[in-house]
A and B are shown apart, each in its own frame.
Chain A
């Protein structure tokens, strides 16, 4: 009950702290720039989001968006190959990038006094990237190594398979960003050039700056460095990401060298900007927000059948996945784990959640937002994500308010809407090479549990 009083007070202070901090503008060539002033530490984070991800690839070039992210570190006429990272490092900064289904993001984090360097680098590689056979071949080998490294971990390999299975073959999400190695081997310099020309342009990008900066100075830098870059004239439309309703539950059975059984369960959910996502996020906190959450209490604490369970809604531009996994004891049957999780979900569908659970979840989400605010890069990421998801970064500012409006009825409704059998994708992973003796021991162990 006490918490109920605290939340509005905190909410108010968070909202007030934001007021006037964030500004934005759009250059004539279409580059959207978002600036958040944060003067606590002399640091700035620069995120450049390109609206291109693996879902934009077509058959024959699967993996190109991610390969291209690698190529973006290989140099321009003014920043030779191998010098990009050094330039940032010389001032104490760091840079990196990531590619998802929907987007490719380039990050710099550096002392605020050196902000201009990030502008030089990003503007330069947006228009002057050198693409040649030698660097393409080298980066292709590096991506192969990345893929081999991921595949060496048996669970990581199966997570990728699970995610690929969550949509029908041919859907833009049917391949993860790492792509198909055989297709990547045939990608040519000409394809890369065409990909670059098409997607790496100001009218397909959002620049987010968070840190110890003055908006006027940022605006001047943006105009100086990005203002003259031409728009992409042949920016393709986003592919159709919609999915037909699932007709039946899918269950995948896998063997793995991982010595403990694992089950993945996921329900298809709507795109990130759908109104139901807020309630699903709150519900996720109730189901798997720590040891006191419903699933952990049931699987780990009460029934003592799992070592660990967790989950999160995987949201994206197109349909996402309400994802859970449990790591459990070898003598427990996968069906038992699945039915126990479903039993907990059914309770919510029938009875909703308690006021106390709702308040706790909302407080957890609010606290996470407050802790996030220490980090310029986390804020830049959240603002960029809101802009790309909703088309308006201001949605980030109102997120807590929207979480606080979620009611028990909302949660019951979304649970009944999405947690339905035909909407479920399950993967049970069992350890391979279990000999007869070990199986017998497990059986005996289960009898004495």
Chain B
């Protein structure tokens, strides 16, 4: 009769685990992946966990004496019952709903123009120039915006004067300030959409495209039936990236309007920054950031479900 000796299995498992670990460490795949995993953990996962921890604590950086007691869901409840939070979120969602379709529309139009044959040098120059707005720092975009929309000497009012329009208070009128921020965002990010769409169009087989052009002269038919499947993965990426970007858009708005006039351009990220770095209530700001993260994930899942699936 065989009797099991306690600890034998564990003793056998130990060398196996050790050999698996050795194999892992010797595996080139592990070392190739390690820097990326380490960087992601250091700059993504770790801060996320800290923010999650903070969101359940009172953590006021500028009031050391108050300590950091555990407060449960208090920060979440305070956030969800704060009208200013909802107003800021509403402004942000409206901004997303108004700006993203315009960026996608302009981007698609530019990509289709650049996809046409002929004038190769112009297309090459246009592609390079599309990168310039994207390469501009957000804060600089805001400062450029302040100059463009300056009432006295801004380019916007100068151009409008050719049409007999009196100077507008772009940055001092609540509605126009909102529109100004939209215009600057569109200026910076419509080129990004154009480049993504251009990459999608480049994947359409030449033969199929030529055949389609022989079939129909209508570009809308070609776009819908032939090019659309190649554009949808890019469109999904644009929607996810731009939604996340707009939800955390801060630098450009802050330098351009500081969230004003009044609270006209106080987007959710400006609001969270105010709580986190003006009032230094890190607990509350972390709870707001976690809610924003959840919103971003939900939006991304919706995009993938309803837009990307179309491509499949």
Same complex for A and B? Answer no
